[in-house]
Amino acid sequence: MKEHPLSESHDDYCGTSYASNLLDLSVGTVQALVEKNELVAWKTQGGHRRISLASIRKYQLQHKLPSTPSMNPHRGLTRILIIDDDEPTRLMLKASFEQWGMAVDALLYDSAVDALLDLTSWKPHVILTDLRMPHMNGFEFLKSLSKHGLYRDIAVVAMSGLSHDEVIAEGGLPDGVQYMRKPVDMEWLRGFLDAVLILQKINQRPL
């Protein structure tokens, strides 16, 4: 993998997980493409891989792949970021959104670190995050998120099997974060997302 300077804006690159969603490939396949220099990438000082969106577009053209809608952040869908290290939970949530017929684009992450790094690239409207995860847990993620410039425009739901008292003992949640105890109450979540969509229309926030 060739090293490239971090000279591009946040909108010009993404993480490996986001790239795998854009290309509809596994993370391992994307990493292999980077190693073969078919995708332009570099690493941050913290050791996290960044991939050029321009090189992803070029790869799609070269291999006659359809341009991914997720690369256009203003295409009229509500963008939902799901962060949970439990794959069945991630897939269940995404499948439910599809079953409900919502105009939603869901991006799935098993790592809060990767999700935080890709936050500016994708600009989600809604974030659903677990609290108990390895490396960076949900409490740490939400603390970092609350300091982000996009935070005030994002509807955030924290999910966990922890009781409210246990959440408070861990330091609590930032103002504005909704808490939903697992197992996920899908009817509540559906109502919450419906309310988010209505408020977005009222406030005329671009999707």
In the β-sheet with 104-109, what is the strand arrangement from edge to edge?
104-109, 78-83, 126-130, 155-160, 178-181
Evaluate if residue 66 carries a pLDDT over 70.
Answer: yes
CB burial readout 28-50, b (16+ within 10 A) else e: eebbebbeeeebbbbeeeeebbb
Lowest mean pLDDT among 8-12, 35-39, 45-49, 177-181: 8-12
Residue 196 pLDDT > 60, yes or no? Answer: yes
Strand order in the sheet with 13-14: 13-14, 49-52, 41-43
Average pLDDT, rounded, for the chain: 85
- The residues with which 129 forms a beta bridge, in sequence order, are 83, 158
* pLDDT at 192 exceeding the cut of 60: yes
Count of H-run helices and E-run strands, the chain = 9, 8
Q: Which CATH number fits domain 73-203: 3.40.50.2300, 3.40.47.10, 3.40.640.10, 2.60.40.420?
A: 3.40.50.2300
Cα distances (Å, whole numbers) of residue 103 to 22, 39, 76, 106 = 18, 30, 8, 10
3-state secondary structure of 58: helix
Locate 32 and state its tokens: 């292999």
- pLDDT tens readout for residues 140-162: 999 999 988 888 889 999 999 99
In CATH, what class is 10-69? mainly alpha
Instruction: Give the start-to-end residue ranges of the domains of the chain.
Output: 10-69, 73-203
